[in-house]
Structure 1
Amino acid sequence: MVDVQRAERFRRVRSGGRAGRKAQRSSEDRVPVVQAGMSGGAYKPLQDTDLEKIHHAALEILATVGIAEATPEVIELATECGCILSDVGRLCFPKALIEDVLTKAANEYVVHSRNSTHDDLHVGDYRVHYATSGEAVTIFEFDTKTYRPSTLLDLYDACRLVDKLEYIHQFGQTVIPTEISDLDEHDFNVAYALVCGTEKPFEMTFNRAQNIKGAVQMFDMVLGGEGRFAEKPFCTFGGCPIVSPLRFAKENLDVLVESSRLGLINDIAIAPQAGATAPVTLAGTLAQVTAEGLACLAIVNFINPGCPMSFAIWPFISDLRTGSFSGGSGEEALIIAAAVQIGKFYNLPTTVPSCMTDSKIPDAQAGYEKGISAVLAGLAGGNRILESAGMLGSLMGCSFEALVIDNDMLGMVQRIIRGIEVTEETLSIEVIKDVALGAGHYLGHAQTLDRMQSEFLYPK
Structure 2
Amino acid sequence: MARPGPKGGQYCPLTQAQILQVHQASLTVLARTGVHVEHAAARDLYRQGGARVDGHRVFISEEMVKTALDSAPSRVLLAGRDPANDVLLEGKRVYAGTGGSPTMMLDPGADTVRPATLDDLRQMTALVDALPNCDFVVMPVYPTDVPEELAPVNRFYACLTNTTKHVMGGVGTTEGARQIVALGILLAGSLEALQARPLVSAITSWMVSPLHLDTVVTDILLTWCSYGLPVALSAAPMAGSTAPVTLAGSLVQLNAEQLSGIVLTQLARPGTPVLAGYIPGVADMRSGGYLGGTVEFGMMQAAAAQMAHFYGVPIYCSGGMSDAKLPDAQAGYEKMATFLLAALGGGNYIHHAIGMVTNMSAASLEGAVIDDEIVGMAMRALRGIEVTEETLATEAIDRVGPGGHFLMDPLTLQFMRSEFFRPRVADRQNRASWEAEGKRDTRVRACARVTELLSRPRQVGLPAEVDVAIRARFPILP
What is the TM-score of this pair, normalised by structure 1? 0.89
Is the contact between residue 153 and residue 183 of structure 2 (CA under 8 Å) also seen in structure 1?
no
1:95 match? 62
Structure-1 separation of matches of 2:110 and 2:379 = 33
Alignment of 1:77-96 (within 5 A): 77-86=45-54, 88-96=55-63
2:454 match? none
* Displacement of 1:303: 1.2
1:269 match? 234
Amino acid at match of 1:244: S
* Structure 1 residue runs of 4 or more that deviate by more than 6 Å after TM superposition: none
Amino acid at match of 2:104: T
Correspondence 1:60 to 2:25: no
* Displacement of 1:155: 1.1
Structure-1 separation of matches of 2:147 and 2:321 = 26
Structure-2 separation of matches of 1:96 and 1:194 = 41
* Displacement of 1:36: 4.7
2:44 match? 76
Q: What secondary structure, in the 3-state scheme, does the structure 1 residue paired with 2:94 have?
A: strand
Structure-1 separation of matches of 2:62 and 2:82 = 44
Amino acid at match of 2:134: I
Correspondence 1:144 to 2:110: yes
Q: What secondary structure, in the 3-state scheme, does the structure 2 residue paired with 1:133 have?
A: coil
Structure-1 separation of matches of 2:201 and 2:385 = 33
Runs of 5+ in structure 1 lacking a partner?
1-34
Structure-2 separation of matches of 1:453 and 1:316 = 38
Deviation string 1:101-156 (CA, Å, 9 cap, x unpaired) is 2222211111111124x421110101110011011110012333110001111111
Is the contact between residue 36 and residue 119 of structure 1 (CA under 8 Å) also seen in structure 2?
no
Q: What secondary structure, in the 3-state scheme, does the structure 2 residue paired with 1:360 have?
A: coil
* Displacement of 1:213: 2.5
1:392 match? 357
Deviation string 1:404-451 (CA, Å, 9 cap, x unpaired) is 1111111111100100001111111111111115x7010010000111
Q: Which of 66, 85, 100 does residue 134 from structure 1 map onto?
A: 100
Structure-1 separation of matches of 2:331 and 2:109 = 18
Correspondence 1:298 to 2:263: yes
Q: Percent of aligned pairs with the same residue? A: 33
Aligned-residue RMSD, C-alpha: 1.4
Amino acid at match of 1:282: L
Correspondence 1:241 to 2:241: no
Correspondence 1:447 to 2:406: no
1:9 match? none
2:250 match? 285
Structure-2 separation of matches of 1:203 and 1:46 = 30
Q: What secondary structure, in the 3-state scheme, does the structure 1 residue paired with 2:229 have?
A: coil
Runs of 5+ in structure 2 lacking a partner?
425-478
* Displacement of 1:347: 1.2
Deviation string 1:14-54 (CA, Å, 9 cap, x unpaired) is xxxxxxxxxxxxxxxxxxxxx65111111101011111110
What is the TM-score of this pair, normalised by structure 2? 0.86
Larger radius of gyration: 1
1:17 match? none
Amino acid at match of 2:349: R
Structure-2 separation of matches of 1:56 and 1:232 = 36
Q: How many residues align?
A: 422
Q: Which of 32, 57, 79 does residue 112 from structure 1 map onto?
A: 79
Alignment of 1:24-35 (within 5 A): none
Is the contact between residue 36 and residue 169 of structure 1 (CA under 8 Å) also seen in structure 2?
no
Amino acid at match of 2:363: C
Structure-2 separation of matches of 1:144 and 1:119 = 32
Q: Which stretch of the first structure deviates more once superposed, 301-310 or 206-215?
A: 206-215
2:337 match? 372
Is the contact between residue 133 and residue 388 of structure 1 (CA under 8 Å) also seen in structure 2?
yes
